[in-house]
């Protein structure tokens, strides 16, 4: 069964460094998402992406975040200058389309630790 994959599974970085989290969505999916989950807290929406544009973003997704689909398969989340509070699990998701019958499939997540 097709699945969303994410790399790396765990990333450790120093405060102020740039990180890029990578995701490979399911191949025929057109909508892509990033969510994050700070340890012990809710899963929070960051951004959705369709047709090479951001469809929606949350207040968390400020200028230090950006997303890109650099080629036909990858979808990346870049954090320009990491802060301690960026430490979290980051989940990528994708869906074929919108509507109830098109569920969002989640990847296994990347654990980001900022020291």
Q: Are 94 and 35 in contact (CB under 8 A)?
A: no
Kindly state the smallest distance separating residue 80's Cβ from other proteins, in Å. 22
Q: Which residue has the tokens 């969303």?
A: 4
Residues whose CB falls within 8 Å of the CB of residue 17, separated by 6 or more in sequence, listed in order: 81, 82
Q: Are 23 and 107 in contact (CB under 8 A)?
A: yes
Choice between 15 and 43, CB closer to other proteins: 43
Choice between 52 and 100, CB closer to other proteins: 100
Kindly state the smallest distance separating residue 87's Cβ from other proteins, in Å. 15
15 binds other proteins (CB under 8 A): no
33 binds other proteins (CB under 8 A): yes
How many angstroms separate the CA atoms of 97 and 106, rounded? 15
Could you give the residue ranges of the DSSP H alpha helices within 1-115? none
Bridging pattern class, strands 75-79 and 105-106:
unpaired
Kindly state the smallest distance separating residue 26's Cβ from other proteins, in Å. 13
55 binds other proteins (CB under 8 A): yes
Tell me which residues touch other proteins (CB under 8 A): 31, 33, 35, 41-45, 48, 55-58, 89, 91, 95, 98, 100, 103-104, 106-109
């Amino acid at each position: 069964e097709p699945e969303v994959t994410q790399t790396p599974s765990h990333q450790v970085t120093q405060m102020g460094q740039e990180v890029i989290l990578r995701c490979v969505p399911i191949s025929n999916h057109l909508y892509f998402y990033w969510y994050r989950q700070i340890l012990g807290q809710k899963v929070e929406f960051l951004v959705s992406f369709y047709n090479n544009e951001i469809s929606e973003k949350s207040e968390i997704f400020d200028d230090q975040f950006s997303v890109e689909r650099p080629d036909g398969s990858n979808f990346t989340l870049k954090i320009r200058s990491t802060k301690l509070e960026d430490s979290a699990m980051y989940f990528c998701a994708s869906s074929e389309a919108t509507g109830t019958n098109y569920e969002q499939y989640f990847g296994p997540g990347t654990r980001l630790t900022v020291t």
